[in-house]
Structure 1
């Protein structure tokens, strides 16, 4: 599984970030520009994603995003897990 640190994500220009936390968790603070697709809904929303794009997957601590990254990769998507999740994110939040 590909992984990236929160600091590396901060340096990217316009990354495609998918936040797989639940809606209430995201409402408490999320990375600007991220798209919320809760892990439990990911398999039903694959049609919204583009297999030509690179996605960075985020959750609270990195566990759910790890599962989501493996799931997306197994379905032909380019996905990278942000290690440590939002607990290690020091950048801006909305």
Structure 2
């Protein structure tokens, strides 16, 4: 799946869509600001939580972090686990805030 831009995500949210968004930042980063509707699963705990996401294997999942690096790693990991529609938020939370 191609990555998603902050503008595209915001447009979809404004249209009432509620995509599955996973924030792979640390809890303290999530407390400083978050994307509405996102769930916080820090990258280091993702392998332990992957079984909880099993029902989402065929659904679109948008992953994000602060700038895009950790979420790119999360995207690759989830793809390896058989998740077929994982998209990385380009520029991460920083770009989302600015858009």
Q: Is the pair's TM-score, using the shorter chain for normalization, greater than 0.5?
A: yes
Structure 2 portions without partners, runs of 5+: none
Shift of 1:74: 1.2
Alpha-carbon distance in structure 2 between the residues aligned to 1:3 and 1:37: 19
Matches within 5 A, 1:10-89: 10-12=10-12, 13-49=17-53, 50-77=56-83, 78-89=85-96
Report the TM-score when normalising by structure 2.
0.86
Shift of 1:53: 1.5
Report the TM-score when normalising by structure 1.
0.91
Which structure has greater helix proportion?
Answer: 2
Shift of 1:47: 1.2
Paired residue secondary structure (2:61): strand
Q: Which segments of structure 1 move beyond 3 Å, counting only runs of 4 or more?
A: none
Shift of 1:48: 1.4
Alpha-carbon distance in structure 1 between the residues aligned to 2:61 and 2:34: 16
Structure 1 portions without partners, runs of 5+: none
Count residues with an aligned counterpart.
91
